[in-house]
Structure 1
Amino acid sequence: MSHLIRNKSKLLARIRRLKGQVEAIERALEAEVPCGEILNLTASVRGAISGLTAELIEDHIREHISNPDKDENPARAQGAAELIEVVRMYLK
């Protein structure tokens, strides 16, 4: 959890932006904005959630499994780097 505490302000800023995006969807629905605009807003939220999720998973891998930049075991370092890359691509 130390990595979450270390990045707390950055993570909270992302969450606050997400909160603002979700509130924008709520306002758009209340204002009866055309569905295309609401779909664009929801796509933005989905992208932001995916980005946050990817960041949290990457930090978890680096902190609790293997940090490819510091691991002295080359096979484990390579495996962690590959896993991080797959997570980034999957959640893109």
Structure 2
Amino acid sequence: MEGIDTLVAFLRDIGCPTRLSELGIDNGLFSQYADDAVLVLHDEDGNLLGRPAMSKADIVDVLKSALRTVMKNGKLRCTGGQKHSH
């Protein structure tokens, strides 16, 4: 996890968003995003290929995790990125 924390710190230092919420994206379309993801590449059970394979519910869970806002000293350190209306 140290490598991931270092990467996140670097991205924040250069003003790069690291969470979907920092881009103004909410969970309103996560189910559609999951449906679209498995259309691209899926196994015979309809799961997104990978190790391990991911169901649509797994994909939504990952997106929800990406949406969580990480605060440091009471405010977001990252200021970069454009707001998107999805």
On whether the aligned pair clears a TM of 0.5, the verdict is: no
Structure 1-normalised TM-score?
0.30
Would you tell me which structure has more helix in proportion to its own residues?
1
Structure 2-normalised TM-score?
0.31
Name the structure, 1 or 2, with higher relative contact order (CA <8 Å, separation 6+): 2
Q: Which protein is bigger by CA-based radius of gyration? A: 1
